[in-house]
Amino acid sequence: TQLLEQSPQFLSIQEGENLTVYCNSSSVFSSLQWYRQEPGEGPVLLVTVVTGGEVKKLKRLTFQFGDARKDSSLHITAAQPGDTGLYLCAGVNNNDMRFGAGTRLTVKP
C-alpha cells in the first residue's frame, strides 16, 4: 500500500486541454514536493510546498497544498506535448520522504 496515492495513474489528453492530478495521503507532511520524470532520465524537482493552503504557480503549472497538509494537486493549463512525463509527488516528514507511484501524462499534438 502506497503512503501517497496519486490519481489518475495514466492520463492521455490533446494539446491545449487542461488537467489536474492528485496526490492524497492519510498522513500529515511538513512539506510536499512534485517532480517530473521524462523517459531515460531521473526525476526533476518542480516545486516544494510547505504551508497548508499554499498555492504556487510555475508558468502553466499550479500546485496546491491542502489545508491539512495531507494532500496536494497539480493543475496544468493548456497542456503541451513537452509536458509529457511521469509526475511524482513526495511527502516529507520526520526526516523521511516517501514517493507516490506517479501519474503518467501523455499530451498528444
Partner 1 sequence: KAGVTQTPRYLIKTRGQQVTLSCSPISGHRSVSWYQQTPGQGLQFLFEYFSETQRNKGNFPGRFSGRQFSNSRSEMNVSTLELGDSALYLCASSLAPRGITDTQYFGPGTRLTVL
Q: Which of 10, 26, 40, 59 binds partner 1 (CB under 8 A)?
A: 40
Nearer to partner 1, 73 or 93 (CB): 93
Q: Which residues pair with 88 in a beta bridge?
A: 35
Residue 60's nearest CA partner among 44, 39, 80 is 80
Site string for partner 1, 60-89 (x = CB under 8 A): ----------------------------x-
Rounded CA-CA distance 70/4 in Å is 9
Query: How are beta strands 10-14 and 103-108 bridged, if at all?
Result: parallel
1 binds partner 1 (CB under 8 A): no
Nearer to partner 1, 95 or 109 (CB): 95
